[in-house]
A and B are shown apart, each in its own frame.
Chain A
Amino acid sequence: MWTWLHKLGSPKIFYNLANRLIPWFGWGALLLMLYGLYGGLVQAPADYQQGDSFRIMYIHVPAAWMSLFIYMVIAFCSAVYLIWKITLADIIARASAPIGASFTFLALVTGSLWGKPMWGTYWIWDARLTSELLLLFIYLGYMGLGSAIEDRRVAARACALLAIVCVVIIPIIHYSVTWWNTLHQGSSVSVMNQSSIDKSMLVPLLVMAFAFKFYYVAVVLVRARTDLLFQERKTNWVRKVLVNG
């Protein structure tokens, strides 16, 4: 187990693995997305209350899930980096940040488009919207700190520390805005209890969630691969890779 993990941490082996995995996850994401969008936009029945406009949920909800999931990945990689000094963990955390910020932005935009027909306004200072907005700021701060520090190793440690500080504070922010003000509908999907959403609507939603995850893995591997080649540009194996194409 541990030797396998150590092998994975070696840049060369990771590079080859990423090369092999990217097409699988990329095509997987595309197929799942096509199926999920067909199921969500065409097959699923219209909502009895919200009509057809609920269909934006198939983008909005998975994007919101991803925004949190990717932050957790960043925080986990940051902890791994600070403890074991595995450069690859830093590369993955840093490669994830712009994707996470994009998903957060997507969740905010689709949410506000959904809010217009439902609540009659594009933006309200609701708890979930506010905490999502603050999450976007945290992503931007993380990326800003990373790009402001020139020395890559210092930047890596500073970013990892920031990610961990923020992950401690995020729950506090989340609950403070929840107690402050909420209008957003409660969660309809739950693992433990019976979901309060019909199967014909739920299945495409879960498919879309997996499509987004696959998409994330594919993109993060592409970004990490590029960054890895740049970081390791002075080593022999990169020279070989670049010469042989």
Chain B
Amino acid sequence: MNAFFALLKRDLLLAYRNRGELANPMLFFVIVVSLFPLAVSPESDRLSGMAAGVIWVAALLATLLSIERIFRSDFDDGTLEQILLSPRPLPLLMLAKVTAHWLVTGLPLIIVSPLLALLMHLPAEALGTLMLTLLLGTPVLSLVGAIGVALTIGLRRGGMLLTLLVLPLYTPVLIFGANAVQAVTLGLEVAGQLYLMAAILVFALTLAPLAIGAALRVSVS
């Protein structure tokens, strides 16, 4: 457990030292969402109808945009090899890296989401559900995305490939997340979707670190 917290602390410290980059995913999230009223229509009923989907897609793209950073600098300066050589259990270390990444990019998205809900005229009663689905969903996006990064980190131009690998795997989270928020605005019961998202989160938390570790061992060799 010490190794877990040591790595977590190190990653958070590194992120804090590069504060300029910290805001990028959040800015991207806000900008993408604010493009929709311009492109589709500024009318409030049309906006509130698609608010859930737009916010969720934007959160997904923001995660995808930032996910490569999770291993990039460690890979470039050789830290990643040291992590792989460490006698500590690799999945635990991977979990620390993903946690740090989520705290730096996922959590700000959740914090800024009420503002976007306001911009998109999302009904106030759906706001809680939106934040809850993001809280349950964004860690899964980070975990699954990290598998994709681990597989493509050794490639020169892995960006497009990463998108192709990861986006199909993101669909369940997207479906349940957007669906739950949509259902709340219609006054329906959403416990089912939330339980499913929680189940997916637990599932990903258990298995994804193993897959990330195995993928890194393949890529860094």
Contact = CB atoms under 8 A, between A and B. Distances in A.
Interface string A44-69: 00000000000000000000000000
A141 B218 contact: no
A192 interface: no
A5 to B, nearest CB: 25
Interface string B143-174: 01001000110110010010011011101100
B185 interface: no
B15 interface: no
B172 A158 contact: no
B151 A134 contact: no
B219 A154 contact: yes
Contacts of A137: 164, 167-168
A148 B154 CA distance: 10
Contact of B179 (A140, A141, A165, A180): A180
Interface in A121-169: 134, 137-138, 140-141, 144-145, 148-149, 154, 157-158, 161-162, 165-166, 168-169
Nearest to A147: B161
Nearest to A134: B168
Interface stretch (B50-58, B86-94, B101-109, B207-215): B207-215
B203 to A, nearest CB: 8
B221 interface: yes
A145 B175 contact: no
Interface residue range, chain A: 20 to 34
A153 B54 CA distance: 41
A177 interface: yes
A154 B218 contact: yes
Contacts of A169: 144, 169, 172
A105 to B, nearest CB: 15
Contacts of A180: 175, 179
Interface in B185-208: 196, 200, 207
B170 to A, nearest CB: 10
B161 A144 contact: yes
13 contacts: A134-B168, A138-B168, A141-B161, A141-B168, A144-B164, A145-B151, A148-B158, A157-B218, A161-B211, A165-B169, A168-B207, A173-B171, A176-B175
Interface of A: 134, 137-138, 140-141, 144-145, 148-149, 154, 157-158, 161-162, 165-166, 168-169, 172-173, 176-177, 180
